[in-house]
Amino acid sequence: MLENMTNIENIIIVNDGKNIVIKSEYELECLSNAAVNGGRIRTKFIINHEIPLNFNKKNLLKEIKPIKKEYNLSDSTIGLFTAVKMKNAVFFNDNLDNINYTLIITAGLTNANIPLFSNIENQKDKITEFSPGTINIILLVDSQLSEHALVNLFIIITEIKTYFINLSNIKTSQGLIATGTSTDTIVVGFTNKGHSIEWSGSATKFGKTVGTTVLKLLERALKKWAYDLN
| Per-residue confidence band for 116, with pLDDT thresholds at 50, 70 and 90 | low
Higher pLDDT, 166 or 54: 166
Least confident of 62-71, 108-117, 175-184: 108-117
Type of residue numbered 68 = K
pLDDT, mean of residues 9-34: 97
- Would you say 172 and 114 are in contact if contact means Cβ atoms under 8 Å apart? yes
For residue 127, name the pLDDT band (cuts at 50, 70, 90): very low
The C-alpha angle 230, 13, 75, rounded to 5 degrees, equals 105
Residue 120 has pLDDT above 70, yes or no: no
Q: Within its chain, how far is the Cα of 143 from the centroid?
A: 19
Q: What does the pLDDT read at residue 226?
A: 84
User: Is pLDDT above 90 for 72?
Assistant: yes
Q: Which residue has the higher pLDDT, 125 or 151?
A: 151
The domain made up of 2-229 has a fold known as L-amino peptidase D-ALA esterase/amidase (3.60.70)
Q: Is the pLDDT of residue 209 over 70?
A: yes
Write the CB contacts of 129 (distance below 8 Å, at least 6 apart in sequence): none
Burial class (CB within 10 angstroms; exposed 0-12, middle 13-18, buried 19+) of 147: exposed
- Give the CA angle between residues 187, 189, 190 to the nearest 5°: 165
Helix axis angle for 147-167 and 205-229, nearest 10°, is: 40
pLDDT of residue 121 exceeding 80, the answer is no
Judge contact between 75 and 184, C-beta under 8 A: no
**How far apart (Å, rounded) are the C-alpha atoms in residues 128 and 159?**
23
pLDDT at position 45 is 98
* Greater pLDDT, 2 or 138: 138
Q: Strand 185-190 vs strand 135-141: parallel, antiparallel, or unpaired?
A: parallel
Contacts with 155 (C-beta within 8 Å, 6 or more apart), sequence order: 201
One-character DSSP codes across 132-175: ---EEEEEEESSEE-HHHHHHHHHHHHHHHHHHHHHTT-B-TTS
Q: What mean pLDDT, rounded, does the chain reach?
A: 89
d(CA 24, CA 26): 5
pLDDT at res. 100: 98
* Secondary structure element (H or E) that encloses residue 86, with its range: none
Residue-level pLDDT at 126: 35
Q: Which amino acid is at 195?
A: H
Percent of the chain with pLDDT over 90: 72
Say if CB 142 and CB 193 are below 8 A apart.
Answer: yes
Residue 106, φ and ψ in degrees, nearest 5: -120, 135
**105 touches 137 (CB < 8 A):** yes
* pLDDT class of 124 with cuts at 50, 70, 90: very low
Q: pLDDT tens-digit profile of 141-192? A: 999 999 999 999 999 999 999 999 999 888 887 888 888 888 899 999 999 9
pLDDT (0 to 100) of residue 168: 87
* Percent of the chain whose pLDDT exceeds 70: 92
